[in-house]
Amino acid sequence: MTTRLITHLRHVALAVPDFDRQLEFFTSVWGLSPVAQEDGVVFLAAEGSPEQYVVRLRRDTDKRLDLLAFGAATPADVDTLAERLGAADVRLIGEPGALRTAGGGYGFRFFDVDGRTIEVSADVETRQHRAIEEGESIPVRLSHVVVNSPDISRTQAFFEQHLGFALSDELSHPYIGELMKFMRCNPQHHSLAIAKGPHVSLHHVSFELRGLDEYMRGTGRALRAGTRMIWGPGRHKAGDNTFSYFLDPSGNTVEYTTELEIVDEDRWHPAVYDIAHEQNQDQWGTANPFDEQLAKECFNDLDRGVFVAPPL
């Protein structure tokens, strides 16, 4: 495994046709705060996070995942990673340089093996944030992102070999085989997971809440607003985190979670959890069964942004 130069997940950038409806959902229902806006683009922060923003939303005729953004400790680490990727014939979108998005910083973008745009940056200005209070059911931070891939072992290998991610745990099924790989870039159980899907697309974006009470209050608020919950509430085995999965107005799956496991990286050994055993999907037994229809919901639409760099 290469030396780990990536430190954490910064933000996810989404493009949607129904921009106004999606923005209303993220702010009024989901609990994110707009911090910067220009024509057809808005940057949304989590009140408890020092990141300038955790979601960038852009208006477009096509729905797509614009990019996943990760942090690095220093500009020198950004340069080192760019050099390594270039030497390995990974397709760079641009050379490292000053970023023109909210918070600035120094970074570059490249395509991963599936054609997703990945950004790595350092020296991004931190945002003044605050402690989320007891009972306050808004996101503390962006927890993790899960992507769909037709060849999850190939995608896993890319993130391990080129970006220093490590495998935490896996999901499998006796008849289907490998279903999901949980990948970490720090002691959090996963910042990225790779799910087996029929095409490259976004599986879901997960947001961390303060605790169990806040997680349930947030789940209830989304339900009262008429948001369709497709799975939950429950508690996963891999990662030991809670889950409530909803469909946003654009058909993307978004999750409220809390208590994601922190691992001892020196002693951790990945496990393979067979989802034929229901307790491996939901330890509590409170969520609806994960069936074929639910799996299709999470396949999402075919991503139109594969190997196409976003305009911003």
Domain count, the chain: 2
Cα 165 to Cα 159: distance, rounded to the nearest angstrom:
6
Shared-domain flag, residues 118 and 47: yes
Shared-domain flag, residues 153 and 118: no
The CB-side HSE value for 116 (13 A sphere, CA atoms) comes to 28
Query: What value does the CA radius of gyration of the chain take, rounded to a whole number of Å?
Result: 18
Beta-carbon neighbour count of residue 155 at 10 Å?
A: 24
Shared-domain flag, residues 175 and 113: no
Position 307 in a domain: no
Shared-domain flag, residues 78 and 41: yes
The tens digit of pLDDT for each residue in 163-191 reads 999 999 999 998 888 999 999 999 999 99
Position 242 in a domain: yes
Q: Which domain holds residue 77?
A: 6-122
Which of 50-54, 109-113, 232-236, 290-294 is the least confident region?
290-294
Q: By percentage, how much of the chain surpasses pLDDT 70? A: 99
- Kindly report the pTM of this predicted structure: 0.97
Shared-domain flag, residues 259 and 161: yes
Position 311 in a domain: no
The tens digit of pLDDT for each residue in 251-275 reads 999 999 999 999 999 999 999 999 9
The tens digit of pLDDT for each residue in 66-119 reads 999 999 999 999 999 999 999 999 999 999 999 999 999 999 999 999 999 999
Position 203 in a domain: yes
The tens digit of pLDDT for each residue in 106-142 reads 999 999 999 999 999 999 999 999 999 999 999 999 9
Shared-domain flag, residues 115 and 184: no
Q: In the prediction, which pLDDT does 1 show?
A: 46
Q: In the prediction, which pLDDT does 176 show?
A: 86
Shared-domain flag, residues 147 and 282: yes
Q: Provide the pLDDT confidence category of residue 2 given band limits of 50, 70 and 90.
A: low
Cα 196 to Cα 149: distance, rounded to the nearest angstrom:
5
Shared-domain flag, residues 228 and 146: yes
Q: What is the CATH number of the domain that holds 108?
A: 3.10.180.10
Q: In the prediction, which pLDDT does 133 show?
A: 97
Position 305 in a domain: no
Position 131 in a domain: no
Instruction: Tell me the average pLDDT of the chain.
Output: 96
Q: Which candidate, 80, 112, 115, 87, places its Cα nearest to that of 4?
A: 80
Shared-domain flag, residues 21 and 104: yes
96 cis-preceded (ω within 30 degrees of 0): no
Q: Provide the pLDDT confidence category of residue 283 given band limits of 50, 70 and 90.
A: very high
Angle between helices 152-163 and 75-87 (to 10 degrees): 130
Q: Which of 88, 122, 156 is the last residue of a domain?
A: 122
Position 287 in a domain: yes
Shared-domain flag, residues 11 and 118: yes
Q: In the prediction, which pLDDT does 16 show?
A: 98
Position 212 in a domain: yes
Shared-domain flag, residues 173 and 290: yes
Q: Which of 58, 92, 122 is the last residue of a domain?
A: 122
Shared-domain flag, residues 293 and 182: yes
